[in-house]
A and B are shown apart, each in its own frame.
Chain A
Amino acid sequence: MRKARKGETHVFRLFVAGNESNSLQARENLARLCEEHIKGRYTIDTIDVLKDASSAYKNHVLVTPTLILVKPIPAVTVFGNLNDTRQILAALRLKCPR
């Protein structure tokens, strides 16, 4: 069992392909969700696969956008532009009790 500590940092890795529309949407969607739910407790590491193909390969990223929740474990991988807010919140375990 993972201990839920206060002030825990969420670490995201978001792989995008330049300024392609799905990638832009994913960036916006992720930033908005984080601001709304875990403001001040997260970091987003954005990687452009067109510039850094090696990290894409290292992380087994084939499709863009790909979001990896690195911390807290267990890691979660989500493919797509993150348009479905409800689904993403559940998948990333961001719905904290009020």
Chain B
Amino acid sequence: MITAKRRPPRADATRGQKKEQQIQKVSTGISGLDLVLGGGVPAGRVTIISGGAGSGKTLTGLQCLLRGAEVGQAGILVMFEERAAAVRQDAWSRGLDLTRLERKNKLYLMEARLDPAGIVSGEFSIAGLLAVLDQRIKAMNAKLVVVDAVDALLHLYDNPMRERRELYALHEWLLDRRLTTIMTFKATPGEDVPGRYAFLDFMADCVIHVDQRVTAQITTRRLRVIKYRGSGYGRNEYPFIINEDGINLIPITSNVLQHRAPGPRVSSGAAWLDDVLGGGYKRGTSILIAGTAGAGKTTMACVFAQAACLRGERVLYLNFEESAESMASNMLSPGLALQPLVKAGTLGIRSYLPEAMGVEEHLFYSLRDLDELEPEHVVVDAISACKRMGSDQAAFEYLMRVLNVCKERGITCIYINQTAGLDVAAEISGIGVSSLVDTIVLLRHLLNGRSMERQLTVIKARGSKHSEQFHTFSITDRGLDRVKS
């Protein structure tokens, strides 16, 4: 038996930084992808991006070119399939003006479509393409080349040996000129790269696969770095989204919990509730309010939100169950005037339909809302609705990542969870987040004679001396009132 010393598994992009100093990198213009690649694609080398139709290969290349053009590095997009006019139009619909960069001589769209009616007779080489490309590169002093749909070129040869020979020749040619190159390659979903083209992955210095798959009717795009010579990289599959800004990727890059310590106390909005909690909530911690339908969860969160906003603190309310208008109107009944707070800009209510998009997209919009409003407190109403983002696992991923971001930024995070049965205690946890939260408040209805009574108890409050009793309360037109028994 060979007993080799096992190296600890490389966790994520942050490792292997020593090596990265030896190899120069070029930003892809996609901040999340740069994080995964530890800075970008290798400078002066060839990177291959393979994936199925509509998986975002060309867009990745284009974003890299645009980023280069922004910092003054000229680039060329060689297209074997698409027309320049179509690429310009697609970019325009994303708010990108390619023509401006073309006029500045920072970007060149080179159509390299072969006459489909052309007849092949005997051997040939791509000297024509290289001559044209060379002329352009010299004229623009280009540093970056994106070769889109290199498979279209290969199909021309109809002979595996010659395909390979020509592509290796192209590879050498690009390396000789120290061009940073991205080649995109169409791969059928399911099988990564057909065996015939497997040599591409061996040839290139950096290989990235992208795909999109459907689970529970919701499509998720994923990206994985297969290899990166001479550099560390994030080894997981990273979900990403394509929206009006282009490709957005939010990797979980930190492998350590960098949560801030809980801050000072902050009032729950009701004095008696603060007593029950042992002095209120703690700033920057996470609180789970669980309970049956109509038990007063949303009211409790809104009482807190209103009190915070009136103190001048900003609150982001992520609502997955009702619209901002309907929530503000419903909260008038317990005497909460949210609309003025929204107008004042201290309260931001964002309503999203959980099933409208996948976890990544929800996460993207939630993080964007967080960045825009920079709130001190966040309410998520309700985590039970988040399951509709696809699955329990999807909901957990979303909630866990929002929670992590909040904790890193010292934002108080209130999660609302609706439990189905009256025996609330058995199902408070809500998709396993109960172990992640610092405080759990349980609300329930109890039959008392001929009427239902609202009761509240604190099940857990890290670092607090809280009451362990059930407290009876009612919702009046002044918010939450304690009912003395």
Contact = CB atoms under 8 A, between A and B. Distances in A.
B47 to A, nearest CB: 22
Contacts of A78: 118-121
A22 B114 contact: no
Interface stretch (B20-28, B130-138, B238-246, B431-439): B130-138
B371 interface: no
Given A17-B127, A17-B128, A60-B113, A83 B135 contact: no
Nearest to B118: A77
Contact of A88 (B114, B115, B121, B124): B121
Residue of A49, A50, A62, A82 with highest tally of chain B CB at under 10 A = A62
Contact of B121 (A23, A53, A57, A91): A91
B127 A50 contact: yes
A65 B125 CA distance: 7
A62 to B, nearest CB: 4
Classify chain A's interface size. Answer: 20 to 34
B18 to A, nearest CB: 43
A54 interface: yes
B121 to A, nearest CB: 4
B163 to A, nearest CB: 13
B125 A63 contact: yes
Interface in A19-74: 20, 22-23, 25-26, 49-50, 53-54, 56-57, 60-66
Contacts of B113: 60
B119 A62 contact: no
B129 interface: yes
Contact of B128 (A26, A63, A80): A63
A62 B121 contact: no
A53 B132 contact: yes
A13 B132 CA distance: 17
Contact of A15 (B112, B128, B134): B128
Given A22-B125, A53-B132, A63 B119 contact: no
Classify chain B's interface size. Answer: 20 to 34
Nearest to A91: B119
Nearest to A83: B122
A88 B120 CA distance: 10
B121 A87 contact: yes
B126 A63 contact: yes
Given A60-B111, A60-B113, A62-B112, A77 B119 contact: yes
B127 A80 contact: no
Contacts of A64: 124-128
A81 B127 contact: no
Contacts of B125: 17, 20, 22, 63-64
Nearest to B112: A62
Given A17-B127, A22-B125, A63-B156, A49 B120 contact: no
A22 B132 contact: no
A41 B458 CA distance: 100
Contacts of A22: 122-125
A77 B131 CA distance: 19
A20 B62 CA distance: 34
B216 interface: no
B426 interface: no
A50 to B, nearest CB: 5
A47 B96 CA distance: 38
A66 B127 CA distance: 11
A84 B112 CA distance: 26
Contact of B127 (A20, A77, A84): A20
Nearest to B80: A62
B125 to A, nearest CB: 6
Nearest to B126: A63
Contacts of A49: 127-128, 131-132
A17 B126 CA distance: 9
B128 A66 contact: yes
Contacts of B112: 62
Interface of A: 15, 17-18, 20, 22-23, 25-26, 49-50, 53-54, 56-57, 60-66, 76-84, 87-88, 91
6 contacts: A25-B122, A50-B127, A60-B111, A62-B128, A79-B114, A79-B118
Given A53-B134, A81-B121, 17 more contacts: A17-B128, A20-B125, A22-B125, A25-B122, A54-B135, A56-B131, A57-B135, A60-B115, A61-B132, A63-B129, A64-B126, A64-B128, A78-B118, A78-B120, A79-B156, A83-B121, A88-B121
